[in-house]
Structure 1
Amino acid sequence: MASIELVLAMLLAVLASGYLQRMLPWSVPLPLVQIALGAVISGVFHEGATLDPDIFFLLFLPPLLFLDGWRIPKDGLFRDRGVILPLAFGLVVFTVVGAGLLIHWMIPAMPAAVAFALAAILSPTDPVAVSSIAKRAPVPRRLMHILEGESLLNDASGLVCFRFAVAAAMTGSFSLAKASMTFLWVAAVGVALGVGFTLLVSRAQNALSRRFGEESGTPILVSLLIPFGAYMIAEEAHASGILAAVAAGITMSYVELTGRVLATTRVQRTAVWDMLQFTLNGVVFVLLGEQLPGILREAAESVQEAGHLNPWWLVVYALALNAGLVALRMLWVWVSLRIDARAARRRGEARGNPHWRVVAAASLAGVRGAITLAGVLSLPLLLPNGREFPARDLAIFLATSVILLSLVLASIGLPRLLVGLRLPEDSDDQRQLDLARREGATAAIAAIDRAQHAIPDDSADTDLYAQAAVRVMALYEHRIGERFGTAVEATTLHKADRAERELRLAGLEAERRRVFELARQYAISDEVARRVVREIDLLEARYRV
């Protein structure tokens, strides 16, 4: 019963955190509020939750990574790949090597493999934490897309490096050649399994739905289970479940463009996933706060292993490690942005070297969060010989410190750095929105006209359908900028309600099909398509009530 009460208390803390953040007179990132509430829970229950690392990893990572892959704008990912890829892969390796050497130098008693494992789990950034800060200090949209793309890919690369480092700590041996070949295997098979599993499940679900029908909640439940299924199958095949979950999410975004899911299902599914994302991220930070007192106690005891008797050395370690991570990130960001600008100039684009504030903002925006915490808490409790995993508590404390310090630094520094900062924006977003709406409206008018002419001329409802068609088509004509002045008497409008509903649904269906077609042809981005389709879905849900 105590475990159930603890879980309910954590969910209540997540619920209360949003209100508390808005009530505070000063700007505080939501994760910090949740961490504080977790510490309060720890004081009330006087006993921390005992976590099984494997279960913790399985419970939190697949859905979060899946949703990141599903929702990230793919056009921005490809357009800014020259910046994103060096951050997502090169910076991870640079951080693992640089921070790993720094940690092992500061704390010689921490084995090198554990130091590199800690550095690896500190390499992924958390866009959710940055988004929380950006609500009160808006990050330029293009910079936010770059940070999201980096986070999507460095989650996978950082966690794979983390797994290798933990394996080295468990076995006491490490081979670079073997690790490289193993990495290629787990990456390729993980991605393939994630893509294949998502396509297989989606097609099977569609086939069963066409033949036997389905309950309205079935597609939502299937979408919730896909990331766990992809992750577990990949892990059983000794591949990367992390990459499988990411690949499943990206594949799901393309499956969505087929437009086979009902509008009401899409609306409900979006709400369910929004709730799940908020809850999982919130619980992770509440759990961090709940574990924090115990982490501090155990880290103070283990600091003696490093040869220091004063627990204040923990503060020194935390500050030095955070400063080292910021310096490594700033150096890499500065170099990669200059290389990207030089490459752009060679392609004939007018691109200057990055402003120092862009470099500083991108560096401070590398906030660590849920992925780092989920990973570090998954460190094994025991070695194969039955001894305790070396410096586990100290590693968790240092990771926790970096999460807290990076949140505080970003919440203080980003609002000041972002004042007046401008980046090249997505200039064709409005053009794509106009194209999607204009083409959708044209397709809708054609569908309404076909539906109207499908009615027999001798039908008693011919006039009502004609009047309804005039009303509905007038709305679409107005959307594409044309005047349509035909009016219908108010006393006769109620007679055409049913006809109007049918014609509106026909128009909305055609409009949605055209938007999906434009997205499949890459005439518009998937982000723009998702935005317009949501508008259409909400209208359709209104008429299907």
Structure 2
Amino acid sequence: MGIVLVTTVIASLFLVIGAAEPLAARLRLPYSVILAVLGVLIGAGATFLLRTELTDALNPVAEAILGLPIRSDVFLFVFLPTLLFQATLGMNLRRMLDDWVPILVLAVVAVVVATLSVGYALFWTSTLPLVACLLIGAIVSTTDPSAVVSIFRSISAPRRLARIIEGESLLNDAAAIALFGLFMGYVMLGVPDPTLGDALGRFPFLIAGGAITGWLAARAAVWTMALFVRHEMAQLSISVALPYLAYIVAEQSIGASGVIAVVAAGLTLNLTGPGRLPPQAWASLRELWDVLAHWAGALIFILAALLIPRLLEEVRVADFALIGVVIIAAIAARAVILFGLLPLLSLLRVSPTVERPYRVAILWGGLRGAVTLALALAVTESFRVPDGIQRVVGILATGFVLFTLIVQGTTLRNVIRRLGLDRLSPIDEALSRQVIAVALQTVREDVARTTVDYELSHDIVRVEAKRFGKRLEGAVRQAEDSVDILDRDRITLGLIALAGHERDTILAGMRERMISARMAEQVLSDADRLIEGARTNGRSGYQRAARRSIAYGRAFRAAGLLNNRLGLSRPLARMTADRFERLLSQRLILRDLGAFIDGRIRRIHGRRVAELLAELLSRRVEGVETALEGLRLQYPGYAEELERRFIRRTALRLEEREYTAMREDGLIGAEVYTTLMQDLSARRTACEDRPRLDIALRRTEIIQQFPLFSDLDAKVLKRLGRAMQTRHVNPGDVIFGKETVNKSVYFIASGAVELERAGQTWRLGRGEMFGHMSILMRKPRHAEVRAIAPSTLLVLDEERFLRLLKRSEAIRQAVLAGAEKRGVVLPEHLLPQKKPS
């Protein structure tokens, strides 16, 4: 076959791909269905041309189409890593983690249930061995819910629901292919009935080996790309190599799951890439993979569909009954998950409530596609699989795919319509009419100003104004006649709009480089939580999400434990620096939302709603300022370094804008512009590096700031710095409880604690100490101490504290003053006598 002919065929396939998308939109059918139908028609047409004598002129073209090197290896080693890797890069992982329980259950449990359901149904109704039946079950268990996700997005379904289905679609491919590799190995070894223990014993190795391989490969790739910070093309090239090398190493060298390796590599790059790569390089990387995945997804579908006529050549009448068994078993397995397990998870509060119409749509939208055909093709190509099993696997998998694409895919939109998912709720309908009326009023005012500015003809203005006025009157009349919106619903809709505008502001700030890509991902996640919280629980959900955005999470607490117990300060330092920058970004964004409330929300929802939203926004700003002030007290000066960095980045952005404007106005040439931008890029790269927060090395500086230690000489201070341990506590943490034996004294370097004893409470702040009373009085603690602000404590053991007490008159006086403040009489003989000078 000549290279010219092959190139012509491939280029023609790209033309087909280009025409398929607008055709799918016009016919209102899923894009994958159109690609599959076109692929089947091309494959069947090429076969027909070769077997008929109508014309011989097109035989070379038909031979080129049927002779394309379409093997399972092409799908599994070329196209599949591309699709999986891009899907992980496009995910909002921080939001996915909120729903990891339902995602894993749907992705893993649903695949296992479908595999067992189809496998045992075939085993009971056919003469195939059990392992072959389970192999077929694994092949048909992976779904392609992209059509459902796109339809949900078009009807403004909850983002959380769409996100769960996206996560399921990514991970169920991995689980199904891992099961496929497991049972394929048994088939090739001739094991008819593998034990459950054998299967479960190998499955963890496939998962763990692939995950570790992908993680290591991604870490190495990110480290290498960070070295090439000024060479964007080099970074893009490394990203292209990453998924394929991870897949090949896992599959060929380790014997683990290559799919899991690619998913792990993509997830690792998604989490670490925005913080290590320049924003422009990260944006270019995402765009590159979007294009590659679009082509790969279309090619894998159309090339797999070309094989369908070949796979169905030996179909028999009895095979149709087995296809029916597969269809019933697969749909029943998915129904068990959707109508049995999902409601149970909702009752247990580990999964969002999925309304029944949505579950029906997900059930009918469980389309199978290219991955199923690729796995079936891998079976038919293996000479180690018996011919009888090859034929049945190819026919059953292909028949099931055709059923889902032709029957379910073509009727999916009608099902959506019958379920009423394509219609707005009464509240949204009333709101849309009101929005139209407000928008048209604004447009009429702007048009009036435009006619005056451009001195248009009065006759034209009068005719157009009359026509526009009729439309505005109709919109106002519809808005007045529509269902009244309750104030509670208006508040909910206003909060959703406010959070949506907050999200748009974040994206604009990211484009303007006012917010780093790393922080943008986190504050975007916060905005998404605000939207979903308002959508599901109104004002209380919005406020809960707002509190969560500034709260100390479990990861932060775990980092604090690592620092306090093991002395590992790096995770805590990194997370504290992230928190600094995140709070600064939130403060920057929130200050711009007041104008949106006064301008847009007030016109649509009225004054009362606007005032309430302004009050809620004010509380959020106050919460962020309080949290930021707590960090400033804990680490003086670091916030100033971040603010100076922000000012430098803003100045560079304005400088770039000036150079671009001069270039467009012809004031400078291309050579000068290129030189200026290269210099600007170098300075921007240096400015992108965030100042390091080293909490481990601040102990000596903190000690020197204590008035209690003012009378100690430098040598004693140095020894004291080595003896003391630093402990970080978050608001609400109990430092020690009642009736516990005390062996340490705590000095408050920053923050505040609350001490409760005998029904009385005292608050201690920076520069004060606690825990010494029980040591001096030789009694168990009768007080509970709890942090009420982010606090840094210096901890000194009993022996060193008593020695220090002998040296420092300031500490002796502080001990006596503290005892007097709490109403405790501390006899002088309990205090160690001061050493003579």
- Counterpart among 178, 194, 202 of residue 214 in structure 2: 194
Aligned match of 2:410:
408
The structure with more radius of gyration: 2
Q: Give the 3 Å change call, closer, same or farther, for CA 6–501 of structure 1 in structure 2.
A: closer
Cα deviation for residue 154 of structure 1 reads 1.3
Hey, what's the Cα distance between the residues in 2 that align with 1:199 and 1:87?
29
Counterpart of 1:224, as a letter, is: V
- Which ranges in structure 1 are unaligned for 5 or more consecutive residues? 453-464, 473-493, 518-545
**Equivalents in 1 of 2:424, 2:377: separation in Å?**
37
Q: CA deviation at 1:371?
A: 2.5
Alpha-carbon deviation of 1:10? Answer: 2.1
Tell me the residue number matched to 1:130.
148
CA drift of 1:176 comes to 2.5
Change (3 A) 1:140 1:321: farther
- 1:142-221, aligned counterparts within 5 Å? 142-173=160-191, 174-207=194-227, 209=228, 214=231, 216-221=232-237
- Establish whether residue 85 from structure 1 lines up as the match of residue 88 from structure 2: no
The C-alpha deviation readout for 1:177-207, integer Å capped at 9, x for no partner, is 2222211112111100100011012213323
Q: Aligned pair in 2 of structure 1 residues 400, 197: CA closer, same or farther (>3 Å)? A: same
Provide the residue aligned with 1:460 in structure 2. none
1:50–1:509: structure 2 CA closer, same or farther, 3 Å change rule? closer
Name the SS of the counterpart of 2:379 in structure 1.
coil
**Which residue is 1:360 aligned to?**
360
Question: Does 2:268 match 1:248?
Answer: no
Matched, 1:51 2:70: yes
Q: Contact conserved, 1:133 with 1:410, CA < 8 A, in 2?
A: no
In 2 relative to 1, CA 403–59 (structure 1 residues): closer, same or farther, beyond 3 Å? Answer: farther
Cα deviation for residue 279 of structure 1 reads 0.7
Offset at 1:81?
2.2
Mapped to 1, the partners of 2:15 and 2:303 lie a distance apart of 12
Shift in alpha-carbon separation, 1:507–1:203, aligned structure 2, 3 A: closer
SS of the equivalent of 2:277 reads coil
Q: One-letter code of the match for 1:397?
A: T
Structure 1 residue 409, shift from structure 2 partner: 4.2
Partner of 2:244: 228
Give the one of 339, 342, 346 matched to 2:347: 342
Contact 1:318/1:402 (<8 A) preserved: no
In the alignment, the residues of structure 1 paired with residue 156 and residue 311 of structure 2 have an alpha-carbon distance, to the nearest angstrom, of 34
User: Once the 2 structures are TM-superposed, how far is the Cα of residue 147 of structure 1 from its aligned partner?
Assistant: 0.4
Task: Measure the CA separation in 2 of the matches of 1:130 and 1:157.
Answer: 20
Higher relative contact order (CA 8 A, sep 6+): 1
**Number of the residue aligned with 2:8:** 5
Per-residue CA deviation, residues 373-405 of structure 1 (Å, 9 max, x unaligned), is: 332222242443875635243134234224414
> Given the alignment of the two structures, is residue 16 of structure 1 paired with residue 19 of structure 2, yes or no?
yes
Inter-CA distance 204–12: structure 2 relative to 1 (3 Å threshold): same
The aligned counterpart of 2:826 is none
Provide the rounded CA distance (Å) in 2 between the counterparts of 1:13 and 1:200: 39
Conserved 8 A contact 2:174-2:260: yes
Write the letter of the residue equivalent to 2:188: M
The more displaced of 384-393 and 364-373 is 384-393
Q: Matched residues in 2 for 1:513 and 1:407: separation?
A: 49
The count of aligned residue pairs is 455
CA contact (8 A) 1:364 1:414 kept: no
2:92 is aligned with 1:97: no
Q: Could you tell me which residue of structure 2 aligns to residue 277 of structure 1?
A: 293
Flag the 1:390–1:374 CA change in 2: closer, same or farther, 3 A.
closer
Partner secondary structure for residue 331 of structure 2 = helix
2:313 aligns to what SS in structure 1? helix
Amino acid paired to 1:410: L
How far residue 262 of structure 1 moved from its aligned partner, in angstroms, is 5.2
Contact 2:377 2:394 in 1 (8 A): no
Residue 434 and residue 337 in structure 1: after superposition, are their counterparts in 2 closer, same or farther (change >3 A)? Answer: farther
2:174–2:259 CA contact under 8 A, matched in 1: yes
**Within 2, Cα distance between the matches of 1:354 and 1:132?**
17
Q: Deviations over 1:121-150 (max 9, x none)?
A: 222222434344446555432111010111
Structure 2: gaps of 5 or more residues: 47-60, 426-491, 497-527, 533-545, 550-581, 592-640, 659-666, 694-837
Q: Hey, what's the Cα distance between the residues in 2 that align with 1:451 and 1:40?
A: 56
Which residue number in structure 2 is paired with residue 428 of structure 1? Answer: 530
Residues 153, 162 of structure 2: 8 Å contact kept? no
Q: 1:218 to 1:100 in 2, by over 3 A?
A: same
For the Cα contact (< 8 Å) 1:39–1:290, is it kept in 2?
yes
1:274 is matched by which residue type in structure 2? D
CA contact (8 A) 1:97 1:116 kept: yes
Name the CA distance, whole Å, in 1 between partners of 2:270 and 2:163.
16
Q: CA deviation at 1:73?
A: 1.9
Map 1:397-476 → 2, pairs under 5 A? 397-404=398-405, 405-417=407-419, 418-419=421-422, 426-429=528-531, 436=585, 438-439=587-588, 446-447=644-645, 449=647
Give aligned-pair identity as a percent. 24
1:428 match: secondary structure: helix
State the shift of 1:237 in Å. Answer: 0.8
**Residue 166 (structure 1) shift:** 1.5
TM-score by length of 2: 0.49
C-alpha displacement of 1:356? 2.2
Separation (CA, whole Å) in 1 of partners of 2:589 and 2:144? 36
Query: What secondary structure is seen at the aligned counterpart in 2 of 1:337?
Result: helix
Residues of 2 paired with 1:5 and 1:158: CA distance? 35
Which amino acid counterpart does residue 186 of structure 1 have in structure 2?
L
Partners of 1:62 and 1:242 within 8 A in 2: yes
Partner of 2:94: 75
Would the aligned equivalents of 2:88 and 2:266 in 1 still touch at CA under 8 Å? Answer: yes
- Contact 2:327/2:400 (CA < 8 Å) preserved in 1? no
Moved segments of 4+, more than 6 Å: 430-435, 440-445, 500-514
Looking at secondary structure, tell me which structure has more strand per residue.
2
Q: Residues 267 and 258 of structure 1: is their aligned pair in 2 closer, same or farther, counting only changes over 3 Å?
A: closer
Change (3 A) 1:428 1:183: same
Cα distance, 1:286 vs. partner? 1.1
| TM score, norm. by length of structure 1 | 0.72
| 2:125 corresponds to 1:120 | no
